[in-house]
Every structure is written in structure tokens, then in C-alpha cells.
Amino acid sequence: MTLQRWTASAAPAAWLVLALGLSGVAAAGDAPPPLPTSAPPPLPADTAAADVLLHQRLDVLLVQLQDPLNETRASPGAQLLGFPPRAATWFSAILDARTDLTWQAQYALHRAILCLQSPAPVPVLPGGPPMHQPARDFYTMVMAGYTQGSDHNPTWDPLVAQAVQWISLSWQLDPGHPGDAEERARDLLQQAYALGCRDPYIEYLLATVLQDIRGDDTPTAQPLLRDAGLRILHSHYDDDCVLHVLWHHLKYVLAQQQNDPSGTEDQLIKIDMDALPALIGRGLSEPVVRANSVPYLLQSYASILKSQNPGHEQEAIDACVAAIQAEHPAHPIGLLVKAYYMQDWAWDARGSGWASSVTPQGAQLMQDRMAVAETCVHQALREDPENTCPLMVAIDLANGANTPKDQVWAWFNRAQALEPGQTTVLDGLANYLDPRWNGSADELISLGRAALATGDWTYGTPDTLIEIHHTLSHFSKGSWQEEEDADYFRAASVWTDYQAVFVGQLAAYPEDQANRSLYCYDAYRVGHIALARAQFHLLTQPNIAMFGGEDSYAFVKESLFPTGAGLSP
């Protein structure tokens, strides 16, 4: 079973109903039969006559695109990619003139424009897998910005193109991506950098893959990120690319500010904070190719905005929302930022202590601010019902809003129907079912094992089971404790779940260095030394981050192979 078969209704999918013992949920009717998808007839050689037929075909596709189910049944969006490059101007005119387009229609038209106007066709890597959507979208977007900049050069252009393709396969979880795509990209990016490439987005990509592979690699990754953030605003990259670079740069300079309160980073923080609202309005109001990261970006930005404006919280969020809406008044992305902001501010009023420590004034302020957050989310859901992002935010806010469980399930399944393969919403549901909030250990384990049963290794769905066990390890002594209990993971039932996830993942992607490194490290931690040694021998490029950093990696390696005994050269 793949994640695309989870559900197409507003009720829990069949495997979830069985796993969690849910009852009283009405099942939706069977999906309508697929629409005909026969190939269109060939176009006449005469351009004018061909355009008449293309416009007629476009009218039909637009009608289909207005029905969200048609995108999966007949793929009208994919058919737009077969239009000639000149059709990009038609698609742009439609986006400007039509205010009634669904999210799917907007996405399909934007994607088609991006692909038809791309100055950089997707290369075929020697021995590499073909790219699918949305990996092709991401590649096309990045290379369009790269080729228009001043830092591209025939000396390193092929290295950059191949590196971006490997990153596209990895970040977009393309069904054919290899498990070591980031490692391959890192090697190519390092070569391009050594030859002289200083493109800001390419520096950002190199910094992020170094951090993914080696953890907090300050001596190499952070200077790259700083340089990228300083120059990205003057580049030719798409707003989505600029937004993500500036977001990471902001987090970096905030950390530097904490380490050095001399004020040298204050100006950079102001530049980033001033630029981000407009970028959020432009970059996230259109269909994005990294939807999984959007809620986290909005939540962290809202938290930073609040922390930067003590005593002026209300004025700060009002100004931020106004700046976002000035860029895209018809899209509710500003409402989602405000929802996260008000939730964060509500918890400030309550405090982090036990319920007995909350003052009546604090409780009332929390209730009032959460009411504003709920209003924002519900308005966003009404204004953009075909977008998964408001649904993810709604689930994230469900704990503080005391949302009923059946409503959360309805949002979860709606998100899965709109965007199969979306794992962020699954993480939100698991958090909602945390025993501290609205669920129990049994519910969480059932959810995790049902996720494992999907066998969807491409999207990492089974990983949910491991994350759930990490959550439950805090409860192993009967109540919540700050530190994980290492003994919890030694229980036979827990280790059986662990092995099921790792064995399945590594069978699907045997070259996956990150998961094999984590499997080795976890096996060592719970005392399965022979297994840890066996996995270590299979590593070709150990992912240091999965071992907890350089020092931890060196310690584990020395423990498994004292003085190098038994370690292959």
C-alpha cells in the first residue's frame, strides 16, 4: 500500500480505521471512474490553425482543472506541459484575468509556465534515475535563477546542474531517488565551489547538505550561509528560493547575536525581518515545491517576529500581515502567520508550568488569543479550501484550541486527499495524539504501526513509528520526564518496530547513508553490538549528523572497533 491510497474522503482511511478502532465514521462513496486520457490528435503545421486547436484544448483542460479530483484522474495539469513554449503567455494571461481558479488550476498553470520558459532543460545524469514532478519543478526553478545570474561559468556549470538534480531528487522525495543523493550533490557542489562558483543559492545548497550530513558544521557551513544570505536579495532567483535562503540566514544571525551581543548582527536581522513579509506574500502565496517546509517556516518566523518586538506584539503582527497582504491580498497566507503568532503569544500568557500555576488573568489571555488564532485558521480554510497548508496549521493549533478529535481526523484526511505523500500533516496528528494532550500510548503506537504498514519508503511514512517511540520514551516511568529513557528502546517490542522500519527502508534504498548511519548508532546504543558493527561495515560515507556529531561518531567507532580491530580499510 502506498501513501496515495490512504484516503480520498473526509473520514479516516481504511487502514487507520482498522488500526485505531475508530467507529461511527461514515465512509465516502466510491470515486467516479477515470476520465478518458487518450492522446490528443497531432497539431496542423500551420501555426494559426494549431493555435485555434490549442486554445480549444486549453478551454477543456481549464474546466477539468476546476474540479480538484480531475487532477489525479485525468492529469490535465500534466497535459499543459505538452503545449509549445509560446503558450506560457496564454497561461500568464489566464492567471491575471481569472480570480475563480482553484488551487490545483493555479498550480498547474504556474508549473507549466515555469517549465515552458525554463532556459535550462533537465539533463539526464549518467546512470541517474529520471525525475518526476515536483522534483522537475524544483530543478527548473533553481536552474532558471542560476543561469540568469553572473556566477555561472562553463567551468563549473555541469557540476552545478548535476548537483541540483541530485538535490531535487532527494528533497522532493522523487520515487526514483537514490538513498545517497545528498552525498553525491555535496561532492559536486564542493568541486564547483573549489573551482570558483560563488552563486548565493548554490552556496546555500552546499551549506544545507553539509549540515544534513555532518550536523552543525560551523567552520564550513555557516560562513557559506552567511555569504548566501547577504547576496541572495540581489539575485535573479524565484521568491521561493530567496525566502528559504533568507529564513536560514536569519536563524544563523540570531544565533550569532546570542553569542555576541555587541550589536554587530542587529543590522542584518533588521534587513532580513524587513524583507521576509513581502517574500512570504509573494513566494508562498503561489504553489510551492516544498510544501512540507511551509508550516515550519511560518511557525518559526512568527516566533522570531514576536521575540523581536517585546511590548509591541500586537503592532508587530498587524504590520506584518498588512505587508504580506499588500503582495497578495487574495491569498490567506498572512492569516496563517497570524494564527501561529497568536498561538505563541497565547502560551506566553499561560506560562509553561502546570495548570495549578496558571493565573486567572493568564488563562483568560490565552483563551482570548487562541480564539483569534482559531478565527484566522478557519477563515484561511474557507478562503483556500484546496490548499493543504491551512489544514496543517489547523492541526498544529488543535491542542491549544481544544479541537475535538473527529474534527482533527477530518482535517487530516482532507489534507491526505488533496496532497498524497504529505507527511507534515501526519506529524501534526501524532503530536495531537500525544498522551499529554488528546491521545494515548496505544493510539500512537497503532498510528505508527499503520504508517509502517503502508510500506511507503519514498516519503518516509514508516519513520513516524520511530518518532512515536521517541515520544513515548519520555513516559516510560509512568509520567512525562524531560530526558528519553534509554532502557525503553531495549524492550523487545520497541526494537522489533525499530528494525522493521530500518530493514524496510534499507531494502528499498540500500545506499541510504543517513538511515544506515542512524540504524548503526541506535543498534549500538541499545546494545546490539554485532548488528552495529555489521551496519558500520556497510557504510561508504557515514552521516556524522546521525551519530550525533563528530565526537559521538568517533566514540562509537572506537567502541565498536578498539584500536581499529576488525575495521575494514
141/178 Cα distance (integer angstroms): 21
385 — pLDDT class (breaks 50, 70, 90): confident
The predicted-structure confidence for 71-110, as pLDDT tens digits, reads as follows 444 456 667 767 888 888 888 888 888 878 776 677 677 7
250/272 Cα distance (integer angstroms): 6
The DSSP call for residue 433 is T
79/61 Cα distance (integer angstroms): 8
CA atoms within 13 A on the CB side of 450: 21
**98 alpha carbon, distance to own chain's centre:** 29
- pLDDT value at position 255? 82
The interaxial angle of helices 550-560 and 529-538, nearest 10 deg, is 110
- pLDDT value at position 433? 94
262 — pLDDT class (breaks 50, 70, 90): low
127 — pLDDT class (breaks 50, 70, 90): low
Residues 166-177, buried b or exposed e (16+ Cβ, 10 A)? bbbbbbbbbbeb
Whether the pLDDT of residue 232 is over 90: the answer is yes
For the residues 495-522, what does the mean pLDDT come to? Answer: 92
329 — pLDDT class (breaks 50, 70, 90): confident
For the residues 449-456, what does the mean pLDDT come to? Answer: 88
Grid-cell match 503582527, residue found: 317
101 against 157, higher pLDDT? 157
- pLDDT value at position 261? 66
The string of DSSP codes covering 149-162 is: SS---TTTHHHHHH
- pLDDT value at position 565? 66
146/202 Cα distance (integer angstroms): 8
3 — pLDDT class (breaks 50, 70, 90): very low
Q: Which of 33, 34, 102, 96 is nearest to 62 (CA)?
A: 102
Q: What is the mean pLDDT of the chain?
A: 81
Long-range contacts from 525-530, C-beta under 8 angstroms, 24+ separation? 525/486, 525/489, 526/486, 526/489, 526/490, 526/495, 527/490, 528/495, 529/560
Whether the pLDDT of residue 226 is over 80: the answer is yes
- Please list the helix, strand and coil fractions of the chain in percent, rounded to the nearest 5, in that order: 65, 0, 35
Of all helices (H) and strands (E), which one includes residue 497? helix 492-508
The predicted-structure confidence for 392-428, as pLDDT tens digits, reads as follows 999 999 988 889 999 999 999 988 888 776 788 899 9
- pLDDT value at position 501? 94
Q: Which of 537, 538, 558, 556 is nearest to 546 (CA)?
A: 556
For the residues 217-242, what does the mean pLDDT come to? Answer: 86
Q: Decide: 541 and 180 in contact? Cβ < 8 Å.
A: yes
- pLDDT value at position 119? 53
374/390 Cα distance (integer angstroms): 11
226/268 Cα distance (integer angstroms): 10
27 — pLDDT class (breaks 50, 70, 90): very low
390/415 Cα distance (integer angstroms): 9
Of all helices (H) and strands (E), which one includes residue 326? helix 313-327
- pLDDT value at position 267? 83
294 against 69, higher pLDDT? 294
